[in-house]
Chains A and B, each alone.
Chain A
């Protein structure tokens, strides 16, 4: 091995560091450390002048490790790494030492001791730098074909969008036709256009699109591979089909909760909103007095969440009843009217104007059905009412499909405590899974109306198109390596990995863990958990980290 030659650059960062620490003293100290052959302080290491100085020093002093002691890797590591690259050095032979955020800023009243701490930080950085190894990024090709699972409004929209971008799409639907939950609906709020119009328009476009292949009465049987290179087995009746896909979009929707055993639910005089939709479609509504009860089976101890779509749905259906029969009486028993945004507050107002009666009840005093009437305590009036009815409609929540967990297992993606698919980040990655190459949209993620499902479908299409547009994915070089001689094939790493990036496979030497570079994020969970110590994290090896600890414990020379 060549001689290790470390160069250390200590930054004043204007007065941010220089105003509190003895920066020239730190550079002088660095020069006294083992393997350090060059050290210098700069006013701003990140300025053009500072970067040029690094490049010149690498050439003139034959440096093969660079340490910068300055601000934070969060903002500046990419810059210094690329400077190393420009200097002809592997960028992973660069070591950052944070003496600003973690030293001068937090110890600004203790110049002497803070300078000593900075010395220790630099000593640790140099100790690790000596052991750094060059690493290479590699690329994996991405198959420009998307698998969209679910042929409802979300899946159809997503498929059409991806196809219009020029990608091949396989659209898989479990039922024998496209449409999903919209096929069961009569009209859509807030426009009151027929749901079937929308479904037919989309289905027709899909039929005509040569880029989209639709497989109805089909479901995913098995999935292998990783981002860019998935092998999908689809079951279609007795037959099986195999094809390759680069990315996957989950758009499997949700289903209506059936309130069996609640409020005398019988599917005839006590029905759900979805059953009411079917009656509308068949034109068979025959009821003069209708009582709707909101939050049936939701916002309770068993199912805590609000399903979001039920309030506007009740408003819509109540208005449709009044429209068809102005003499009818419609009561909506609610807890909180959830009509959010710019449209639905007016929609609620419109419903009030049509003469629908809204009664607020509290969860402590639930409505009761007895003798062909609903007894309810009106919170606003402060009195108990008895409402005779011809029909009771229960607004029940959308719940995760009962096959969602099964699909999640096949795709190795997580679901939340309610069985809905779990996104990578609640705030900032709402349509991504943590696993690269898999995305979601519509009610599979959470109850959503048509408009939201469509927005999310375009969102998922955008995210899914990124690896396909680029044509390849870069693999993270900071990934683990498995020592097959030590690996016992216990699968603990596979269970721990949040990204499906390590898998135990059958090899000539028996069952051994294998890292899927394209999916790995380098988090280190597998390495930390391996009972055999068979997994080494590149760039964060035990030797490198221990060298830092030892350097910390050393007394300054």
Chain B
């Protein structure tokens, strides 16, 4: 038979990258799966439940993480970044920088004895900075690989040369401060980009008071708050006074469909706001939710029915109108000022908690990555594609799937991921 097919590089270890890697691996193609963070899982791992079935997100994701980890054809490169790409379709050379974890992945069993002794406390990124973690930490509880990592920015030994207490308390001698960043070169036939999204920072819309008001939060913060493995153990408590939130406003299109920010529609927010309001009601049936929207976009399978169920069974009111501003009363209750389009009247309502449905934007650093890959981005910095070749970037042999090409929900990201793996397989098996 012909010589063995070349390997494929997948950049990004969220659900899209994971699915692409699994499909290729299952076809018998070697895959290098690259993730910047200490563990794979991506944004989906941060979500509590998923619409429109309300499946627990991590519960359905975790088996895929384990499959990736154990797969004989998949090599995971966590804490790694693509630094250079040369060559051409069918024959790329990729320079990968692997940052030191300072923990031996083979020895660490994630017992947490080290973190229990670490004196450093810094905001936890996975939990949207709502909780503190140590400088040696698991990226998240169910993360894969299930090992600790040392955060070089905050570790006392790495920044000031003193401490090493983790080393003393690790019974498995897994701490390794001798680890160095290394550059390796991979030879691959095709590349799949699946770098996902970052949420828009609504500080850019000062009239909404984000960061000024403690009870105005963004969707991903809400997902962590209501998640059983999150900072409050799944209790929906206000950040100002730890009181339960019972009247909740969801403000849609924050940073989306907005001429001053992103003109585009972020596609998933009507649905995730509905889900978030449902979850609040499931936790506490006294909850009343208001969703302030412009157009309800519920076009996927079962989506419209989901919205109807939200209205009927979960005490959700959909209010058509753009929120003009948010203020606060003496008890730090947010006040929503909006124009209700049905009556053309300006109205206000006071709530316990406000959740801003922030726009999905390309990941920070995507411009540098595009330059390294030699591909074009669109005007919003999503990877440019042609509607009739939706998974191909502007450079042959480099394909794209998921939220880095356009805001996309999970089922579509997964279908695209399989599709991108097919395009890559066509390339390397030719």
Distance, CA A246 to CA B278, complexed state (A): 43
Binding-face segment, B93-101, B183-191, B407-415: B407-415
Interface: A131 (CB within 8 A): no
* Chain A neighbourhood of B423, CB < 8 A: 161, 458
Q: Which of B35-93 contact A (CB under 8 A)?
A: 50, 52-53, 55, 60, 62-64, 66, 70
CB distance from B11 to the nearest CB of A (A): 18
Q: In the bound complex, do residue A166 and residue B267 qualify as a contact, i.e. CB atoms below 8 Å apart?
A: no
Q: In the bound complex, do residue A456 and residue B415 qualify as a contact, i.e. CB atoms below 8 Å apart?
A: yes
* Chain B neighbourhood of A469, CB < 8 A: 26-28
- Beta-carbon contacts of A249-282 to B below 8 Å, as 1s and 0s? 0000000000000000000000000000000000
* Chain A neighbourhood of B341, CB < 8 A: 360, 379-380
CB distance from B299 to the nearest CB of A (A): 4
Q: In the bound complex, do residue B267 and residue A340 qualify as a contact, i.e. CB atoms below 8 Å apart?
A: yes
* Chain A neighbourhood of B388, CB < 8 A: 188, 191, 198, 450-451, 454
Q: In the bound complex, do residue A75 and residue B267 qualify as a contact, i.e. CB atoms below 8 Å apart?
A: no
Interface: A165 (CB within 8 A): yes
Most B CB within 10 A of own CB, among A13, A78, A454: A454
Give the size category of A's interface with B: 35 or more
Interface: A342 (CB within 8 A): yes
Interface: B305 (CB within 8 A): yes
Q: Which of A333-352 contact B (CB under 8 A)?
A: 336-346, 349
Q: In the bound complex, do residue B387 and residue A450 qualify as a contact, i.e. CB atoms below 8 Å apart?
A: yes
Interface: B303 (CB within 8 A): yes
Interface: B301 (CB within 8 A): yes
Interface: B182 (CB within 8 A): no
Binding-face segment, B124-132, B219-227, B233-241, B257-265: B257-265
Interface: B422 (CB within 8 A): yes
Measured CB to CB, the nearest residue on chain A to B429 is: A165
CB distance from A130 to the nearest CB of B (A): 29
Binding-face segment, A108-116, A304-312, A404-412, A504-512: A304-312
Q: In the bound complex, do residue A428 and residue B264 qualify as a contact, i.e. CB atoms below 8 Å apart?
A: no
Q: In the bound complex, do residue A452 and residue B412 qualify as a contact, i.e. CB atoms below 8 Å apart?
A: yes
Known contacts: A47-B109, A336-B297. The answer to whether A465 contacts B60 by CB under 8 A is no
Distance, CA A305 to CA B182, complexed state (A): 52
Q: In the bound complex, do residue B391 and residue A455 qualify as a contact, i.e. CB atoms below 8 Å apart?
A: yes
Among A13, A308, A349, A428, point to the contact of B60 (Cβ < 8 A).
A428
Among A165, A455, A465, point to the contact of B390 (Cβ < 8 A).
A455
* Chain A neighbourhood of B354, CB < 8 A: none
Known contacts: A459-B418, A465-B27. The answer to whether A190 contacts B387 by CB under 8 A is yes
CB distance from B313 to the nearest CB of A (A): 15
* Chain A neighbourhood of B301, CB < 8 A: 305, 416, 420, 426, 445-446
Q: In the bound complex, do residue A308 and residue B299 qualify as a contact, i.e. CB atoms below 8 Å apart?
A: yes
Measured CB to CB, the nearest residue on chain A to B380 is: A342
Q: In the bound complex, do residue B23 and residue A462 qualify as a contact, i.e. CB atoms below 8 Å apart?
A: yes
- Beta-carbon contacts of A292-326 to B below 8 Å, as 1s and 0s? 00000001000011111000000000000000000
* Chain A neighbourhood of B109, CB < 8 A: 13-14, 44, 46-47
Known contacts: A47-B109, A431-B415, A455-B415. The answer to whether A463 contacts B23 by CB under 8 A is yes
Known contacts: A15-B113, A341-B265. The answer to whether A426 contacts B411 by CB under 8 A is yes
Q: In the bound complex, do residue A338 and residue B297 qualify as a contact, i.e. CB atoms below 8 Å apart?
A: yes
CB distance from B148 to the nearest CB of A (A): 12
Distance, CA A445 to CA B301, complexed state (A): 9
Report the interface size for chain B: residues with CB under 8 A from the other chain: 72
Measured CB to CB, the nearest residue on chain B to A76 is: B66
Q: Which of A417-471 contact B (CB under 8 A)?
A: 420, 425-431, 445-447, 450-452, 454-463, 465-466, 469-470
Q: In the bound complex, do residue B426 and residue A164 qualify as a contact, i.e. CB atoms below 8 Å apart?
A: yes
Measured CB to CB, the nearest residue on chain A to B66 is: A75
Known contacts: A427-B414, A459-B418. The answer to whether A191 contacts B295 by CB under 8 A is no
Distance, CA A339 to CA B418, complexed state (A): 25
- Beta-carbon contacts of B86-124 to A below 8 Å, as 1s and 0s? 000000000000000000000001011100000000000
Distance, CA A336 to CA B19, complexed state (A): 33
* Chain B neighbourhood of A166, CB < 8 A: 429
Measured CB to CB, the nearest residue on chain B to A47 is: B109
CB distance from A82 to the nearest CB of B (A): 10
Q: In the bound complex, do residue A465 and residue B422 qualify as a contact, i.e. CB atoms below 8 Å apart?
A: yes
Measured CB to CB, the nearest residue on chain A to B341 is: A380
Known contacts: A46-B109, A458-B423. The answer to whether A463 contacts B297 by CB under 8 A is no
Distance, CA A443 to CA B149, complexed state (A): 45
Q: Which of A64-96 contact B (CB under 8 A)?
A: 74-75, 78
* Chain B neighbourhood of A46, CB < 8 A: 109
Interface: A43 (CB within 8 A): yes
Known contacts: A16-B111, A161-B422, A455-B416. The answer to whether A427 contacts B50 by CB under 8 A is yes
Q: In the bound complex, do residue A430 and residue B415 qualify as a contact, i.e. CB atoms below 8 Å apart?
A: yes
Q: In the bound complex, do residue A426 and residue B303 qualify as a contact, i.e. CB atoms below 8 Å apart?
A: no
Known contacts: A161-B426, A340-B267, A466-B23. The answer to whether A431 contacts B387 by CB under 8 A is no
What are 17 contact pairs spanning A and B, CB under 8 A?
A44-B109, A47-B172, A188-B387, A305-B301, A306-B299, A308-B299, A343-B387, A349-B263, A416-B301, A426-B411, A428-B19, A454-B390, A455-B412, A455-B419, A459-B416, A460-B418, A465-B425
Which residues of B are at the interface with A, using a C-beta cutoff of 8 A?
15, 19, 23, 26-28, 50, 52-53, 55, 60, 62-64, 66, 70, 109, 111-113, 146, 171-172, 257, 263-265, 267, 295-305, 308, 341-344, 378, 380, 382, 387-391, 406-408, 410-412, 414-423, 425-426, 429-430
Which residues of A are at the interface with B, using a C-beta cutoff of 8 A?
13-16, 43-44, 46-47, 74-75, 78, 161, 164-166, 188, 190-191, 198, 299, 304-308, 336-346, 349, 360, 362, 379-380, 382, 416, 420, 425-431, 445-447, 450-452, 454-463, 465-466, 469-470
